[in-house]
Amino acid sequence: MPPTSKQQPAPVAEPLPTPSFPAIEAFIEGATAEEVQTLFNPVKNELANLKGPKAEHAKKVHAAISRTEELLAVLLDTRERLVAESRSKGRK
């Protein structure tokens, strides 16, 4: 008869820390749409220059950067709208 082994409970995973990117947050808080575009243009240009097997990865990265630009544009528009609303209510 084989010995019965007690099953040990699986260790409980600790929650991951919330990611924090203070440099990016600081940039976005004061950036304009043109500054965001200026930030990504050199990267997109270099991705377009890649050839061979890296070109397929470059296409995926380019798509991700484009989506990031879209999301940042929405964020900047929302920020501008909120600032305009707060100024119209007499807040600084």
The DSSP code for 53 is T
The reply to whether 26 falls in a domain is: no
Output the CA–CA distances (angstroms, integers) from residue 65 to 21, 46, 51, 86, in the order listed: 17, 13, 18, 31
- pLDDT of 5 reads 61
The reply to whether 67 falls in a domain is: yes
The reply to whether 25 falls in a domain is: no
The reply to whether 70 falls in a domain is: yes
The reply to whether 66 falls in a domain is: yes
When divided into structural domains, the chain yields a total of 1
44: domain range?
A: 33-88
**Predicted structure pTM score:** 0.65
pLDDT tens, residue by residue, 59-87? 999 999 999 999 988 989 998 999 999 99
The reply to whether 74 falls in a domain is: yes
Question: Residue written as tokens 């010995």?
Answer: 3
The reply to whether 1 falls in a domain is: no
The dihedral sign for the CA sequence 51, 41, 76, 33: negative
Phi, psi of 81 (to 5 degrees): -65, -45
